[in-house]
Structure 1
Amino acid sequence: MHKLLRHGLVLPALALLLGVLVLPAQARVIPDLYEVVEAVPSRGTTDRAAASSRGLERVFVRVTGDAAIGSNPQLRPVLQQAQRYVQGFRYSSEDNQLYLHLSFDPQAVSDQVHKLHLPMWPNNRPGTLVWMAVDTLQGGRAALREEDAPELFAAMDAMAIERGLPVDFPVMDLNDQRNMPLGNLWAQDERAAERAGVRYNPDATLMGRVLQASGQRWQANWLLIHGGRSYAFDASGNSLEEVALRGIDEAANLLAQRYAVRPESDSGPRSAVIVELSGVDSFADYTEASAYLQGLAQVSSADLLSVKADRMRVALTTSAHMQNLRDALALNRKLQAEAEGESIDLTGYRAPLGSAENPLRYRWH
């Protein structure tokens, strides 16, 4: 059933033969954050109410990026009335198990997120390419391939869906093996990851090396590479699957921390940030660029200041920190950062980044 829910593009057979760009892992708008499937014992109203509560909690985890959001006492009354947020439901059966498919109202959930001052992780999220190597007591060291461990990869896929994180796995054909040799993967070589990722063009790369320490003891070292930064973390558990799922889970935590929009009380006062876009060559470009900026969850308003030739200046009202805003602007690659202008006057004063004298500069694609 998880395979039916999997995010991502279908991998063309021709691409496998030619070794061209396949399964791109770029930033994606996740369409089904508000849809869940719950196993239920019956079609009764009591079982449906309980499943709705569990399902709505899963939706809040995806939307806020907080895996522990269900323990928030503010959310408890909302979960108890979960059926009020259900937009539609249906039942299905598989292997003698009954499932309830639930679809929740995105606007109603969003309203509660704002009302309760919870973080909001926008649905435009970094596509993440996952590489894994394992060292077992019997088999030794090897790169993990989806075709050799389908149940493990399905479980990782399911965890990614639970967290609302779009993930893909390399096909591990000869091209991948040449660009990402086992030794480089085990060493978590960032240069090799960049080289091997060219055909997939991911926003983020997650590299894991897993060691079987004993019959039921596994240890993993993980490295998340994204936006010019690297985040290392460890995991341990009683099975390969356990430490693999923890890798996906923690990667989602780290990316949510980077991109989630925090309540104003946490983010500080709103301020205006000046952004200058070049490459705006037509009215269609202007309309699309304006809609893109206005649609950012980190931005409450985008006001046009000026248009000159192919350049437009916009004042973005935001409560996000500057680095968080710049991360958001770059995420879906509509904007390419340009070099900062000369912003030092004769007195040696440097104008603040994002000011009228020193705007954030991007080229529109």
Structure 2
Amino acid sequence: MTILLKHLFEYLYSLRMRGYSLIDSRSNGAALLLVFFSIHSSFSVAAEFIDLYSVKLAVDSETKQQRLVASRKALETVFVRVTGDNDAVKKYPLLAENIAAADQLLARYSYYKDSKPSVHYETNQVMTKNARITAGRMLEHAQSSQLMIEFSFKPEAVKQLLMSASAPFWQASRPEVLIWLVVQEGAERTIVNSELSPSHFGRLEVAARRRGIPVAQPLLDLEELSKLNENDIWASSMDKIIASSDRYSHGAVLTGKISRRTSGQWYGQWTLSYQNSEQVEFFSGSDLFEFSHLGIDLVADKMANDYAVVTSEKRPNNEWMIHVDGIHSLQDFTQLSQSLRAVPALKSIRLHSVDQSSCYFYVDAVVQLQKIKALLALNGSLELQLPKDLIPNIEVEPLIDTTSLHYIWRQR
């Protein structure tokens, strides 16, 4: 298939250089390419930046019974990640029914010993607050060498199950979240990162792995600390925090502070800066894992609302035009087509025409235009331009009230 695709693209590009339009009936290569796009641009993810389908759990032994129990818990975690919904198993009965048959969705599993479980241990209880607290305590008191099992589930089987359940799917290409966190104990305040506060940052990593959220930490170098210190973060000086965050590539900024009182209780706050708005959540409790999950859940729920796509075949499709300028080579064309095929909301992609350095695609989507824009914004090579009117399809009646998206391809 790869060789066929290569030849098709080469033939297409030679036709384009000779001035042919891909909707010209004289172009047999165009017809082949249109068929190829219609067949092979279905619901799939070409490049995954987050491993959504692998879960590591602590176990006491290698018995079959423990493996079966652990596999069910691991599949629950996968369902939470891929749907973007903490309550996925409760909301979608078909997912709950398949938990008991987790082995049927399993690609492989393996055992290993983890010499640093405090860093790499992953929660093995995922659906309830009490379970997360239990997992957190297990992390803090983990043995120096912990027996672990890693499960890897079949991506296509999981995606097909989501479609059958009419559950959302959140693709693996996800915006990174920059975290600023200050911990106060007594009169001392410390900015958290993996070097200065490995236990605090480790809790955030556990929560982030559970939801499939990529997290970043500040460098805390001299230049940065001269502009932003722990007191600024504690005071939630958002202007300074956002200004210092501009040096990093991120999709959201999560700012937190947590303090322990003499009673042993922790009191804290998370502020999420995302899409030009802010949301604040407050915390009080005795367990820091609960605080970490509160912050990560705040981010994950917001992002999932923008990026998760329901791909049920029962949903009506919408046809849109995507116009991309700046395609100057076969490599550009190939990378562009791969980028479009990586968007799960696009059920099919049909090449309409090529004109000089511009390509026009018709896409059948299961979501509205705004969500397509949000999903394509994750690709740094596509720069959105002002929308244009839909180019008429000479073979199909133009859709009423349909618009297009116009991009410029910027090679990274």
TM-score (norm 2): 0.72
- Aligned mate of 1:163, from 208, 211, 214: 211
Cα distance in structure 1, aligned partners of 2:373 and 2:311: 18
Q: Equivalent residue for 1:73?
A: 93
Q: SS where residue 124 of structure 1 aligns? A: coil
Contact 2:163 2:310 in 1 (8 A): no
Aligned equivalent of 1:262: 310
Residues 128-165 of structure 1: CA deviation (Å, up to 9, x unaligned): 111112444x1254433432311110111111111111
Q: Aligned pair 1:308/2:327, yes or no?
A: no
User: CA-atom RMSD, angstroms?
Assistant: 2.7
Q: How high is the sequence identity, in percent, across the aligned residues?
A: 28
Superposition deviation, residue 284 in structure 1 = 2.1
Structure with a larger share of its residues in strand: 1
**C-alpha contact (below 8 Å) 2:272/2:279 kept by paired residues:** yes
State the shift of 1:269 in Å: 2.4
Q: Which residue is 2:257 aligned to?
A: 209
| Cα distance change on mapping 1:147 and 1:353 into 2, 3 Å | farther
Distance 1:230 1:331, change over 3 A: farther
1-structure distance, mates of 2:170, 2:401? 23
Distance 1:239 1:77 in 2: 32
CA offsets 1:22-48 (integer angstroms, 9 cap, x no match): xxxxxx933422111222222221121
Amino acid in structure 2 at the alignment position of 1:118 = A
- Listed one character per residue, the Cα deviations across residues 295-324 of structure 1 (whole Å, up to 9, x for unaligned) are 211111222223222222222211213322
Larger deviation: 179-188 or 292-301?
Answer: 179-188
Larger radius of gyration: 2
- The match for 1:363 is 408
CA separation of 1:36/1:270 partners in 2, compared to 1, >3 Å: closer, same or farther? same
SS of residue in 2 equivalent to 1:244: helix
In 1, Cα distance between equivalents of 2:100 and 2:49: 26
Deviation at 1:280, TM superposition (A): 1.4
Instruction: Determine the structure 1 residue equivalent to 2:198.
Output: 150
Number of aligned positions between the proteins: 326
Separation (CA, whole Å) in 2 of partners of 1:244 and 1:51: 23
Separation in structure 2 between the aligned mates of residue 301 and residue 50 of structure 1, nearest angstrom: 39
1:88 aligns with 2:136: no
- Do 1:37 and 1:100's aligned partners in 2 also have CA atoms closer than 8 Å? yes
1:149-298 alignment runs, 5 A limit = 149-212=197-260, 215-264=263-312, 269-298=316-345
Displacement of 1:179 in angstroms is: 3.6
**TM value normalised by structure 1:** 0.80
2:106 alignment partner AA? V
Structure 2 gap ranges (5+):
1-46, 115-143, 391-398
Q: 2-side partners of 1:34 and 1:340: how far apart?
A: 36
Partner of 2:19: none
Matched, 1:99 2:148: yes
For the structure 1 residues 199 and 264, does the alpha-carbon distance in structure 2 shift closer, same or farther, using more than 3 Å as the test? same
Where does residue 319 of structure 1 map in the other structure?
366
In structure 1, C-alpha distance between the alignment counterparts of 2:356 and 2:347, rounded to whole Å: 27
Note the alpha carbon deviations across 1:70-112, whole angstroms, 9 max, x for none: 3343323211111112211121234454222211111111111
Note closer, same or farther for the CA distance 1:213–1:264 as it changes in structure 2 (3 Å cut). Answer: farther
CA gap of 1:230–1:310, structure 2 versus 1, over 3 A, is: farther
Deviations 1:179-234 (A, max 9, x none): 43445433444443443223322122211233445533333332222343433333
32-41 or 227-236: which moved more? 227-236
Q: Tell me, yes or no, if structure 1 residue 119 matches structure 2 residue 168.
A: yes
SS of 2:309's equivalent in the other structure is: coil
Gapped regions of structure 1 (runs ≥ 5): 1-27, 344-351
Between 269-278 and 51-60, report the one with greater CA deviation: 269-278
